[in-house]
Amino acid sequence: MSPVVRPATRADVPATLEIYNHAVLHTTASYDLEPVSLDTRLAWFDHKRAAGWPILVLEEADKVIGWATYGPFREKPGYAGTVEHSVYIRDGLRGAGLGTLLMTSLIEDASARGFHVMVGGVAADNAGGLAFHARLGFVQVAHFRQVGYKFGRWLDLAFMELLLNGETDQISG
């Protein structure tokens, strides 16, 4: 059965949390240091849904195998055209095109809603995450040195940016 992308429901939260917490424990993809509890994640889901932000899941054979979301980049109103996303594929299923499938839907969603820019924060040591975003057309626009600390070391963070709806850089002046 081919994988399908659909909006997440509350019933998907435990499966998406399992995928996320595995990454929290074993990778620098998230700068969370401890696994997130189900109650905390359910509150996060309710808050995002009430605010109208999308959470998409990738499902195959009745199993959730990935999820992606976006939300505000920064709170001040002038940033309203920009969103920041997250994307996670279940460990063991990576490198098979599933992340691309999910992100393509997420980018379509943001474009259809008229957002202008999508930004992803990717740990600078996450070579796969950087290559993945570059392949989708994201451009690395920032490299923050030592802004995170995990696994006993300082972590650099890259910001990767995608201009949506075929936008290109504005020539000013």
User: Measured from the CB atom, is 92 or 173 closer to ligand COA?
Assistant: 92
Q: Which of 41, 48, 49, 94 binds ligand COA (CB under 6 A)?
A: 94
Binding residues among 131-170 for ligand COA as defined by CB under 6 A: 131-132, 135
Q: Which stretch binds ligand COA (CB under 6 A): 31-39, 40-48, 95-103, 137-145?
A: 95-103
The residues with which 123 forms a beta bridge, in sequence order, are 157
Q: For the chain, how big is the Rg over CA atoms in Å?
A: 16
Binding residues among 15-74 for ligand COA as defined by CB under 6 A: 23, 27, 29
Binding footprint of ligand COA, residue count (CB under 6 A): 23
The residue type of 80 is A
Binding site for ligand COA (CB under 6 A): 23, 27, 29, 86-89, 94-100, 120, 122, 126-129, 131-132, 135
